[in-house]
């Protein structure tokens, strides 16, 4: 990736220990944050923006985000997907004010410039003036004043976009290992939208990416996961670094049982019982019995837990805030019972989820701790100091691997 160097940022010095340390200024430096946006979100990368099932027919649209820039994903003619920046080519006003809907075209509320579904300018009111006075110059050409259109890639029902005119192929950017697991979640079956959760978390966006690359914390923080065996330190698992800052966490559900490993954990609640066990009782749907979480840098975490599937879209809102949009889905050919379970298992996640609510709290406190701590660093030595794949959960290897990529890309 190309870098846009900044003198003050370049003066930053990473700790001599390398990737086993992360200086707290990476979460608080506004100039570093702007470089991240330009490089990772607006550069030669692929960002998740939507699922195809969210825009099922011609004229269907969804408003989405890449970094801090708002985009609109639209289904056009011949089933084609178009993505353009939500900014009028005339004076910069937002065209689309709804999260979702269906339109024949898009008209700016300010001066009524009208754009086709693919972002091309169709009409300009008073273009020829009134009574031969005013109007646009004779050589004004609508073709030169369309919306900013992005590169689009559709992968088995998922939709990705890039601001860069010549991004790498999606397969190369994702890497073979991650592509294999994307196709596991998205095997070509038509998707069915189940619902959304949204929350605003007062922390730097990278802290959330770290959180989903950190199986170690999940074995300690989340009582619900530990107690009911959805995620525990003694679970069979793999932590697999991948290209471009991506990673995979693969595990297997061991069920609710006390073992020598977990019985001393303060958050193992042996007496905790549920009146309705549906939330922690999945139906087997993969022959390998695996549970997989994919962090696809920089914009999304793709999770499978129990029978719930979700896209966790990470939307930066400044140096110390980000929005997290959870999109839950299943398959069109799911049975009614499977759909019911997918919705029930979604209660694990979101701002009030049995599990995810705890992450929001600790990330906010981590951000608070990073302020006024430029001389200090986080320690990432659990599981060693290297970045090789590991076959257990008691590790921070995926975070170390991520910061190796981050440092190289950012020139730090």
pLDDT tens for 73-100 read 999 999 999 999 999 999 999 999 999 9
Q: How confident is the model at residue 222 (pLDDT cuts 50, 70, 90)?
A: confident
222 Cβ neighbours under 8 A, 6+ residues apart: 231, 267, 355, 358
Query: Cβ of 56: how many Cβ atoms within 10 Å?
Result: 12
So what's the pLDDT on residue 266? 46
pLDDT score of 137 more than 80: yes
- C-alpha to C-alpha distance for 382 and 107, rounded to whole angstroms: 54
- Between the alpha carbon of residue 399 and those of residues 242, 338, 385, 386, 388, the distances in Å are 11, 34, 11, 11, 11
| 294-341 pLDDT per residue, tens | 999 999 999 998 899 999 999 999 999 999 999 999 999 999 999 999
Percent of the chain surpassing pLDDT 90: 76
**Higher pLDDT pick, 6 / 27:** 27
Across the chain, mean pLDDT equals 91
pLDDT score of 258 more than 70: no
**Higher pLDDT pick, 119 / 271:** 119
So what's the pLDDT on residue 270? 55
**Higher pLDDT pick, 12 / 404:** 404
So what's the pLDDT on residue 4? 46
pLDDT score of 65 more than 80: yes
So what's the pLDDT on residue 6? 54
Q: How confident is the model over 163-187, as a mean pLDDT?
A: 98
So what's the pLDDT on residue 265? 45
Question: CA 377, 382, 388, 393: dihedral to nearest 10 degrees?
Answer: -130
Q: How confident is the model over 147-169, as a mean pLDDT?
A: 98
**φ, ψ of residue 391 in degrees (nearest 5):** -105, 35
Instruction: Please provide the DSSP assignment of 294-361 as one string.
Output: EEETTTEEEEEETTEEEEEEEEE-STT-EEEEEEEEEETT--HHHHHHHHHHGGGSSTT-TTHHHHHH
Q: How confident is the model over 344-354, as a mean pLDDT?
A: 87
Query: Cβ of 164: how many Cβ atoms within 10 Å?
Result: 15
Length in residues, the chain: 412
Structure tokens at 121: 């300018």
pLDDT score of 262 more than 50: no
pLDDT score of 223 more than 80: no
Percent of the chain surpassing pLDDT 70: 90
Block residue for tokens 């100091």: 385
So what's the pLDDT on residue 224? 72
pTM of the entire predicted model = 0.92
Instruction: Show the domains of the chain with their CATH numbers.
Output: 47-154 (2.102.10.10), 177-410 (3.90.380.10)
So what's the pLDDT on residue 231? 60
Highest mean pLDDT among 280-284, 353-357, 384-388, 390-394: 384-388
Asked if the peptide bond before residue 298 counts as cis, ω within 30 degrees of 0, the response is yes
DSSP-derived pairing of the beta strands 322-331 and 191-201: antiparallel
Block residue for tokens 């692929």: 46
Q: How confident is the model over 171-178, as a mean pLDDT?
A: 98
**φ, ψ of residue 323 in degrees (nearest 5):** -100, 140
């Amino acid at each position: 990736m190309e870098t846009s160097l900044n003198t003050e940022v370049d003066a930053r010095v990473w700790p001599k220990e390398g990737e086993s340390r992360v200086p707290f200024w990476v979460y608080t430096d506004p100039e570093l944050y702007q470089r991240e946006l330009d490089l990772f979100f607006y550069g030669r990368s692929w960002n998740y923006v939507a699922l195809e099932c969210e825009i099922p027919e011609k004229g269907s649209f969804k408003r989405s985000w890449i970094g801090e820039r708002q985009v609109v994903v639209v289904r056009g003619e011949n089933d084609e997907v178009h993505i353009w920046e939500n900014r009028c080519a005339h004076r910069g006003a937002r065209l689309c004010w709804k999260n979702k809907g269906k339109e024949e075209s898009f008209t700016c509320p300010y001066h009524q410039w009208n754009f086709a579904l693919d972002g091309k300018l169709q009409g300009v009111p008073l273009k020829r003036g009134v009574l031969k006075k005013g109007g646009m110059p004779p050589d004004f050409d609508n073709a030169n004043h369309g919306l900013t259109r992005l590169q689009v890639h559709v992968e088995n029902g998922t939709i990705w976009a890039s601001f860069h005119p010549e991004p790498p192929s999606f397969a190369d950017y994702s890497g073979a290992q991650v592509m294999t697991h994307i196709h596991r979640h998205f095997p070509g079956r038509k998707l069915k939208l189940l619902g959304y959760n949204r929350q605003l978390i007062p922390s730097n966006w990278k802290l959330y990416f770290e959180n989903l690359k950190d199986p170690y914390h999940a074995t300690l923080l989340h009582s619900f996961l530990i107690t009911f065996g959805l995620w525990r330190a003694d679970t069979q698992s793999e932590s697999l670094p991948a290209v471009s800052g991506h990673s995979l966490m693969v595990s297997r559900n061991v069920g609710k049982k006390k073992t020598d490993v977990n019985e001393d954990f303060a958050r193992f609640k042996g007496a905790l019982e549920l009146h309705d066990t549906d939330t922690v009782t999945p139906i087997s749907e993969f022959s390998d019995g695996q549970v997989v979480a994919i962090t696809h840098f920089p914009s999304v975490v793709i999770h499978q837990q129990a029978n719930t599937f979700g896209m966790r879209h990470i939307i930066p809102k400044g140096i110390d805030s980000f929005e997290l949009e959870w999109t839950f889905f299943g398959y069109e050919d799911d049975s009614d019972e499977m759909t019911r379970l997918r919705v029930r298992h979604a209660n694990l996640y979101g701002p009030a989820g049995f599990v995810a609510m705890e992450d929001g709290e600790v990330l906010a406190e981590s951000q608070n701790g990073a302020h006024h701590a430029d001389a200090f660093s986080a320690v990432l030595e659990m599981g060693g100091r290297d970045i090789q794949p590991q076959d257990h959960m008691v590790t921070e290897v995926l975070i170390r691997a991520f910061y190796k990529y981050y440092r190289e890309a950012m020139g730090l």
